[in-house]
Structure 1
Amino acid sequence: MTRIVVIGAGMGAMAAAARLAVAGHRVAVYERSAAPGGGAGRLARDGFTFDTGPGLLHLPAVYRDLFIKTGKEPLEQSVRLRQVDPASSHRFPDGTVVELPNASRAGVVQALDAALAPGAGERWSELINRARDAWDATRRPLLEEPLPAEPERLAALGRDPYPAARRRGLFRRSGACTLEAVARRELADPRLIALLESHALAHGLDPRRAPGSAAVLAYMEQTFGSWYAEGGIRALAEALYARCLARKVEFHFGAEVTGLVEKDGRAAGVRLADGSVVEGDAVVSGVDPALLGAPVPGPPRSRFSVFLALRGARPEGTPHRTVVHAPDREAELAAVFGPRPHAGHRPSVVVLRPDDAATRPDAGHEAVTVTATVAPQGEVDWADQHTREGFAQRMVHAAGAAVPGLAERVLWREVRTPLDVAAATGAVGGGVPAPALAGADGAFLHPGNLASLPGLYLAGGFAHPGGGLAHAGMSGALVAGLIVEGAAFRGSR
């Protein structure tokens, strides 16, 4: 039996901890905050509750597998998951509204043809079919296996570590193969282009630079559906924490790790903020590598959220998620990704209106979350009150397109900026990492789970295979496999 020290109690770190404990290891988790869950947090006030991180789950099979592998009780015995239908409603600047059914190819085709124009649905479906090629070609090596030891060397030789599928023209080498180029070539209609690009933007990806393989994000959502956990996604974090406790994982909260302890050229424990040292046979880090002094690129994009407590009942048939697209695409991309990011634009916003009694004090009220992708703290000064309040007002104004009479219904609101995200999660600048993507010579990969320092392993959204609830869960499985089976581990089959 070996002792494993885990830094952070985020979803990827806890996924690794539960699997390692089942494998017979002694696992101790050290978390700087007072509660587990990392980015999957919760705001509770006056009977209203809100998820402060992800609001929906995609690829629930990742957590179903985790719960099966770590105990007899399946995931659904701990968390009630239900599919969101429609999956999303989209409101475009020209007034077009389209509601897309959940996990239904035929239904999506019909909805797009009816809302946009005959043939629009088929064009979209053709692109999704081509994105499926990329998914089929890269799913296992990109998501279910550890990174090769030297992905940079492969890129230097002109080979993508995980080249995107090139069949049927979507990923052909002639011309730039960015998501923007794919969208313009295959979709033409600016509303379809905005629909495709919204999946990238939601993950903090610039469609002008993200590889064409980013189309898999739309494919995944349409194919595997969008799922809501009753009580909010925070309920999933609490269930995973309970599973860890049942497997005898130790948790130490208010215990900030400030550095690694090395012995004989390998990780041998961690140093805490109080000066004490915790020894271990291996260390699993579930935090932003920059916090441990590792050289990493600049912080990813972040999330700005406004939580609204509303008087009045949620109307029956209201979509759970509505995307209100920005009126000026170029202005938004410049504000979020440009050389001089700012907060003076009117952003695309995602409006979440869950039909869940646990989120509100009674049936005569409603809890609504409005989010936008923004530049991280440091590139924009989110501590500035004028910047913060002005942006929040523009977000709420945009959300009014999805919530009629919104301004008159607001009881109170709370704002969470990237500065708040940084304080809650420890991520530099409040960055929220994106999922790993194939192509682009490996530019959209994350650090491998097996760190260069022997005995150190990386889990969570800042490690392979990247950000998002499902990807974080996958990272935990990869780390556990590497520790249990060694560097020769190639993923579960």
Structure 2
Amino acid sequence: MIGAGMGAMAAAARLAVAGHRVVVYERTETYGGAVRRFERDGFGFDTGPGVLPLPAVWRDLFLKTGKEPLEDCVRLTQVDPSSRHVFADGTEVSLPNASRAGVVAALDEALGSGAGQRWGDFLVRAREAWDRTRRPLLEEPLWPNWAVLAGREPYPAVPHKRLLRTRRAATLAEIGAWELRDPRLAALLAGHALGYGLDPGTAPASAAVLPYMEHAFGVWYVDGGIRELARAVYERCMRRRVEFVFGAEVTGVLEKDGRAAGVELADGRVAEADTVVGTGPWRLRGLLPGREPYGPGAVEPTAEELFPGRVVVCLALRGGREPGAAHRTVVHSPDATAELDLFTAAGTPERPTVRIDRPDDPALRPDAAHESMVVTATVPSAAGYDWSAPGAADAFADRMAAAAERAVPGLRERVLWREVRTPVHTERETGAVGGAVPPPSLAGAEGTLHPSNSTAIPGLFGVGGWSHPGGGLPHAGMSGALVAGLIVEGPDFRGSQ
């Protein structure tokens, strides 16, 4: 196993239970991939995901790999409200968790009569897209005839008359303009896309499944931080006798008789194996000079550096968290059009949309008189912007703090210190080119599909965010389940049940 990311560990635990001896070689000194924690002076911060959607994926892993269920290993708390939103015009709304009626009522009260119903009707259509794509994009190996997923749009868009033509929304931006018909609802939808590193102007309408997934299955927090989920998965692997070798960089994949037969390490060691589970497609190519791991007709991996990254600002604050503060607040950019230049230009948004995580968690602060806060923004990757240039990271962090202060007045006066983490840190920790963050797989003509977990080389498999079914914590867990199924049951494996 190459790498100890969440998808790789999910595969490792399942394979160990199936009777395989599993050895994981991790280039860095810890596990979890992008699910990291920064600690200093009694403060703790999740520097990767801040909340957990679709926890059933990880419940299934623990159910299938041992006697202790997930809730015996970590404490899950449903986040309520699921999110608070501050829009460009100053309007605010807090959305209850996993309640369509509650969301409709909250939006009607905050945005005006009819707004909630339009969002509720959108969620009904998003559910249809979810029902059509859930199995092929989450629970099944990538279809050999994968091109059908890139054809017909699964989102049932409402016909829209424009001039003399009838059109149907093909992107999230068009859903916002033609179906939601309120710039604040459009911003609410766009915020979900940005959170996954997607441009709402080009993301397919099928990306409606992303807000639907959070709405239908709730948003959860792991007490102690999401890093605790990574710890629990790592410990489950250890109990199943998975071996971890940290500080071990894999520099090549061995082949024998036309199939993968082990790995070469940077220190010259060779580890033989019957099966090799690798990392992202581009790195697999680098480990197989002169060989193409993906055969004719396969999904061609998109260059990682073409995707955006994230800047994460960890704030150590004096003063306690006020009672009733939302766990997650999204402050939407007052200049949404200019913000989307981050997907096409080398510059950073002048007034970015920011996501603020304020967990009410004593484990992440030194005492009740202090608070830990994480502010995140989607930005160009380090391949398109020089985040290491003097002052670049701090200047953008200042703009993020100014945006966050729209939701948390007096924020900057409370800051004891801050830690700014850019795509440069992400690249160092995950190996992704430019520190890019993989989006989830999406169907439709403008969708993004990631290469299959199987490769053209027998015994070689891909796992994690850059392989099917793409990025995100639920997708990582499913990636591990799919790889384990393909190895244990063979090419006839048809998916998770």
> With structure 1 as the length reference, what TM-score do the two structures score?
0.94
Distance 2:6 2:460 in 1: 18
Tell me what 1:485 maps to. Answer: 489
Structure 1 runs (4+) deviating above 6 angstroms are 170-173
CA drift of 1:388 comes to 1.4
Q: Does 1:138 align with 2:145?
A: no
Paired residue type of 1:369? V
1:64-118: CA deviation from partner (whole Å, max 9, x where unpaired): 0000000000000000000000000000110100000110101100100000010
2:327 pairs with one of 316, 320, 323: 320
What is the identity percentage for the equivalent residue pairs of Structure 1 and Structure 2? Answer: 61
Paired residue type of 1:169? V
Q: What is the correspondence of 1:326-475 to structure 2 with a 5 Å cutoff?
A: 326-334=333-341, 336-338=342-344, 340-343=345-348, 345-440=350-445, 443-475=447-479
Q: Is contact 1:288-1:426 (8 Å) kept?
A: no
Distance 1:347 1:411 in 2: 23
Query: 1:449 aligns to what SS in structure 2?
Result: coil
Q: Is contact 1:343-1:387 (8 Å) kept?
A: no
Q: Does 1:231 align with 2:224?
A: yes
Judged with a 3 Å threshold, the aligned counterparts in structure 2 of structure 1 residues 344 and 322 are, in CA distance, closer, same or farther, namely closer
Q: Answer with 292-301 or 475-484: which moved more.
A: 292-301
Distance 1:273 1:326 in 2: 45
Distance 1:13 1:410 in 2: 37
1:109 pairs with one of 104, 108, 115: 104
Distance 2:454 2:191 in 1: 32
Judged with a 3 Å threshold, the aligned counterparts in structure 2 of structure 1 residues 248 and 407 are, in CA distance, closer, same or farther, namely same
Q: Is contact 1:310-1:409 (8 Å) kept?
A: yes
2:276 pairs with one of 283, 295, 298: 283
Q: Does 1:89 align with 2:84?
A: yes
Tell me what 2:290 maps to. Answer: none
Q: Does 1:36 align with 2:31?
A: yes
Distance 2:203 2:308 in 1: 13
Distance 2:442 2:261 in 1: 32
Paired residue type of 1:396? A
CA drift of 1:267 comes to 1.1
Judged with a 3 Å threshold, the aligned counterparts in structure 2 of structure 1 residues 292 and 32 are, in CA distance, closer, same or farther, namely farther
CA drift of 1:161 comes to 4.8
Q: Is contact 2:282-2:303 (8 Å) kept?
A: no
Tell me what 2:237 maps to. Answer: 244
Paired residue type of 2:158? G
Q: Answer with 289-298 or 452-461: which moved more.
A: 289-298
Q: Is contact 1:306-1:369 (8 Å) kept?
A: yes
Tell me what 2:212 maps to. Answer: 219
**Number of residues paired by the alignment?**
479
Query: 1:284 aligns to what SS in structure 2?
Result: strand
Tell me what 2:316 maps to. Answer: 309
Distance 2:349 2:221 in 1: 32
2:158 pairs with one of 156, 166, 169: 169
CA drift of 1:287 comes to 4.2
Q: Is contact 1:171-1:177 (8 Å) kept?
A: no
CA drift of 1:175 comes to 5.0
Distance 1:298 1:161 in 2: 18
Distance 2:125 2:209 in 1: 9
Judged with a 3 Å threshold, the aligned counterparts in structure 2 of structure 1 residues 460 and 426 are, in CA distance, closer, same or farther, namely same
Q: What is the correspondence of 1:142-153 to structure 2 with a 5 Å cutoff?
A: 142-151=137-146
Judged with a 3 Å threshold, the aligned counterparts in structure 2 of structure 1 residues 386 and 7 are, in CA distance, closer, same or farther, namely same
1:378-431: CA deviation from partner (whole Å, max 9, x where unpaired): 200000122211101000111111222111110000000001110111111101
CA drift of 1:149 comes to 2.6
| Structure 1 unaligned blocks of 5 or more | 1-5
CA drift of 1:171 comes to 11
Judged with a 3 Å threshold, the aligned counterparts in structure 2 of structure 1 residues 111 and 166 are, in CA distance, closer, same or farther, namely closer
Distance 2:259 2:311 in 1: 39
CA drift of 1:341 comes to 2.2
Judged with a 3 Å threshold, the aligned counterparts in structure 2 of structure 1 residues 291 and 285 are, in CA distance, closer, same or farther, namely closer
Judged with a 3 Å threshold, the aligned counterparts in structure 2 of structure 1 residues 310 and 68 are, in CA distance, closer, same or farther, namely same
Judged with a 3 Å threshold, the aligned counterparts in structure 2 of structure 1 residues 166 and 395 are, in CA distance, closer, same or farther, namely closer
Distance 1:167 1:377 in 2: 37
Distance 2:268 2:114 in 1: 65
Q: Answer with 452-461 or 47-56: which moved more.
A: 452-461
Q: Is contact 1:446-1:464 (8 Å) kept?
A: yes
Distance 2:39 2:99 in 1: 35
CA drift of 1:298 comes to 2.5
Paired residue type of 1:62? V
Q: Is contact 2:160-2:178 (8 Å) kept?
A: no
Q: Is contact 2:262-2:274 (8 Å) kept?
A: yes
Distance 2:159 2:254 in 1: 48
| Structure 2 unaligned blocks of 5 or more | 287-292, 294-299
Q: Is contact 1:324-1:348 (8 Å) kept?
A: yes
> With structure 2 as the length reference, what TM-score do the two structures score?
0.94
1:160 pairs with one of 149, 158, 170: 149
Query: 2:363 aligns to what SS in structure 1?
Result: helix
Q: Is contact 1:304-1:418 (8 Å) kept?
A: yes
Tell me what 1:3 maps to. Answer: none
Q: What is the correspondence of 1:110-129 to structure 2 with a 5 Å cutoff?
A: 110-129=105-124
Q: Is contact 1:290-1:428 (8 Å) kept?
A: no
Q: Aligned-residue CA RMSD in angstroms?
A: 1.7
Paired residue type of 2:154? A
Q: Is contact 1:312-1:409 (8 Å) kept?
A: yes
